[in-house]
Amino acid sequence: MIRDLIEQAAARQGEACYLEDAAGAGTLTYAGLRRSVLAWSSRLDQARIPPGARVAVSLPDPLGYATVLVSILAAGRVVVPLDPAAPAAEASRILAAARPDAAVSGTDGPGLEVVGQRGEPAAPQARLGRQDPAADGERGPAGGIYLCTSGTTGTPKGILLPEDQLGHVASGVAAHHRLTPADRGYCCLPLFHINAEVVGLLATLTAGACLVVDRKFSRRGFWALIEQQGITWVNAVPAIITVLALDPPASRPDHLAGRVRFVRSASAPLPASALRRFEEVFGIPVVETYGMTEAASMITANPLDGPRKAGSVGLPVGSQVRVVQADAGRYLPCPAPLVGRVQIRGPGIITRYADGGPAGAFDPEGWLDTGDLGHFDADGYLFLAGRSDDVINRGGEKIYPREIEDVLLAQPGVGSAAVVAAPDEVLGQRPVAYVVPAGSWPADQLEQTHLEELLHKACEAALPRSKRPSEFCLVRELPVGPTGKVSRRRLREMADRMPGLR
């Protein structure tokens, strides 16, 4: 499927740009991509890396990384994308789970290292203990992507995304976002995560468009880059949108409002206050979406035309979505607007985990429990309340962190915030808020105390007593992963070390 798309694009628009480096380090045309696929196919064949085998990829520059990833995928192999800056222990953990047959890395150009071959021992330096591909039921002749979930909320899980699933979701993204060959997208998100791979690389390929890839987001000069590159849409995360929304008036590019069709938000909840401020400041629509690795990225999205509801992740796109409650060992539909467990099913969703995964993840009808909590409104828009394992149980009352976070994030002195449970000797758990002040750090203890008092008053005005945080901890930054998603697990570890109620 992916190779067919490349062949068609090369025949139709061979000299058109597919990928471009934001720093001006080079471009890749569709004809050049076709040549890259042929070269990698030959290289892998000569190295006796058969179709369906796994190839780890870890390259420092985004253009080279993207080119190799798509080429090896189109060559019928399973790509195992790695973070080139990951600590050795993290890389080893993923490699031990994925058991690749070969690896591509290098700073002076992509070099291929054979890790293990069918019927032959693995290279001594690798020692990954992989199985014979012919005996591994997960492998097949088609390409795919193998990823591990981030582990920000629990134990990481191995996920194998076959080529047909990737193609299905990429087509849905391209159609929903109305991508055409005239579009030039911008993506500074990590290429070892599903968002950049499917929403960025494969949806662009499906549309015959161009994607400008960047090493990382930089607030300084961002809008000048968008204007210089002629960008028509931006693939972003909430942290980027929030930072840009706080830019001073002098940086507001009013003339870009008609050129940039939309900014897409994914990978983490986007505060409604940040969305509204961004749209007010720049006049560019923000399309909030919801996805996960198991769904090869997008599950729901707000429409480009029609109502875009702040605080909602939109309507289902290409997959079935339901909200349910557990009752006597079975799931029953949860009527709007009651909060329940979000479950998904369809051709864009995996049917099992590569490593078995958690027990009970799939029900007998094939519904995957996402672990997220949410509700539908009367118009069918999905609103997420948080993760099921993030719910705070305070004396038997269930508290959803997001309802507290929305209050905090609406305050002008707050840059970002996250609420987690801390242990309580009497009530079991209590909510604790970690807050990053907006702008510069408070100059002294008096300013910090003043901000804490403002937060207390805001929560008193908006929340019942049981839902108000018992502590406001001012921090310089929240622990996040590569996609900007807050690591609540690390925050809970910090909260566990806090003293009980005073």
- DSSP letters along 292-314, please? EGGGTEEEEE--SSS---TT--B
> Taking a C-beta distance cutoff of 8 angstroms, is the pair 260, 226 a contact?
yes
pLDDT at 151: 53
pLDDT at 141: 56
Backbone angles phi, psi at 65, to 5 degrees: -60, -50
> Taking a C-beta distance cutoff of 8 angstroms, is the pair 235, 185 a contact?
yes
> Taking a C-beta distance cutoff of 8 angstroms, is the pair 66, 79 a contact?
no
pLDDT at 320: 96
pTM: 0.85
Q: How far is residue 274's CA from residue 280's CA, in Å, rounded to a whole number?
A: 10
Domains delineated in the chain:
2-11+27-160 (3.40.50.980), 217-388 (3.40.50.12780), 396-496 (3.30.300.30)
Both structure tokens of 157 = 């899980």
Place of tokens 């992963």: 481
Compute CA 284 distance to the chain's CA centroid, rounded to the nearest angstrom: 22
pLDDT at 485: 81
pLDDT at 204: 98
Q: How far is residue 492's CA from residue 229's CA, in Å, rounded to a whole number?
A: 42
Mean pLDDT per 10-residue segment, the chain (502 residues): 95 97 96 98 96 96 97 97 89 90 88 66 31 39 84 69 96 98 97 97 98 94 94 95 82 83 92 91 95 96 94 95 83 88 96 82 92 94 90 86 92 91 86 91 86 93 91 91 80 75 36
Instruction: Tell me: cis bond preceding 337? Omega within 30 of 0 counts.
Output: yes
